[in-house]
């Protein structure tokens, strides 16, 4: 289990409910024995019970919230509630929208597989991931990275040839259709 995932999924299910169709988490009523006084239990339940939980959006575009003094990503909590276990790897948002926590949009993947669904880097200047202009050769270069190893696909006289070669390599290596596209995750 992930070091941050110290709360057992069974315990989570007594604190939160998850709607897999919308991807939203909601606070459940808490029993009095979780509080120091009946008044504090009543106050908490009146204020939060039934309300949406984990609504804070971080700078990276992920929803998160706090349980027992620890911050947890909403997509990981959603996965744990839906599957009864914390994810073994990383949670990939299939459509690239980091705030879309619908169960149909989440998958538990390795870090390498998750990188195959990344959006185009903000540092990219050509507009296509894995394609750049080389001033030394005065040609377009197409590259692809798999498993932290970069492979040069080739150098090309035109941008279109480099883009086409990169697209063929991406498909052959099992990259997601949205990989390198401009979007929410970029």
Give 114-164 pLDDT, tens digit per residue: 888 777 888 888 989 889 999 999 999 999 988 788 999 999 999 999 999
To which residue do tokens 């897999």 refer?
Answer: 20
**Does an H or E element contain 71, and which?**
strand 70-73
Half-sphere exposure of 182 (CA within 13 A, CB side): 7
pLDDT digits (tens, 9 = 90+) for 58-111: 999 999 999 989 999 999 999 999 999 999 999 999 998 999 999 999 999 998
Q: Which helix (H) or strand (E) holds 45?
A: helix 38-48
Q: Please tell me the pTM assigned to this model.
A: 0.75
- Predicted confidence at residue 164, as pLDDT, reads 94
Under DSSP, is residue 79 helix (H, G, I), strand (E, B) or coil? helix
Q: Is the dihedral of CA 175, 102, 65, 7 positive or negative?
A: negative
| Structure tokens belonging to residue 9 | 């999924």
Condensed to tens digits (0 to 9), the pLDDT of residues 129-142 reads: 889 999 999 999 99
Q: Is the pLDDT of residue 48 over 90?
A: yes
Cross-strand pairs, 150: 145
> So what's the pLDDT on residue 125?
85
Quick one: CA torsion of 169, 171, 173, 175, rounded to 10 degrees? Answer: 120
Rounded mean pLDDT of the chain? Answer: 90
Span 3-19, mean pLDDT? 85
Q: How far is CA 75 from CA 18, 125, 180, in A?
A: 10, 31, 22
Q: Which residues contact 104 (CB under 8 A, 6 or more apart)?
A: 20, 94
């Amino acid at each position: 289990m992930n070091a941050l995932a110290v709360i057992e999924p069974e315990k989570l299910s007594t604190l939160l409910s998850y709607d897999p169709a919308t991807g939203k988490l909601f606070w459940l009523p808490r029993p009095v024995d979780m509080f120091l006084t009946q008044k504090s239990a009543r106050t908490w339940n009146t204020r939060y019970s039934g309300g949406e939980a984990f609504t804070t959006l971080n700078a990276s575009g992920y929803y998160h919230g706090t349980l027992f003094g620890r911050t947890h990503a909403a997509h990981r909590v959603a996965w744990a509630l839906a599957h009864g276990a914390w994810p073994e790897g990383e949670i990939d948002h299939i459509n690239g929208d980091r705030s879309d926590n619908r169960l149909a949009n989440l998958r538990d993947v390795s870090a390498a597989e998750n990188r195959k669904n990344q959006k185009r880097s903000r540092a990219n200047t050509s507009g296509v991931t894995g394609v750049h202009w080389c001033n030394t050769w005065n040609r377009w270069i197409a590259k692809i990275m798999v498993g932290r190893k970069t492979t040069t696909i080739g150098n090309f006289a035109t941008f279109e040839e480099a883009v086409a070669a990169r697209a063929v390599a991406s498909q052959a290596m099992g990259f997601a259709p949205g990989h390198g596209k401009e979007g929410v995750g970029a």
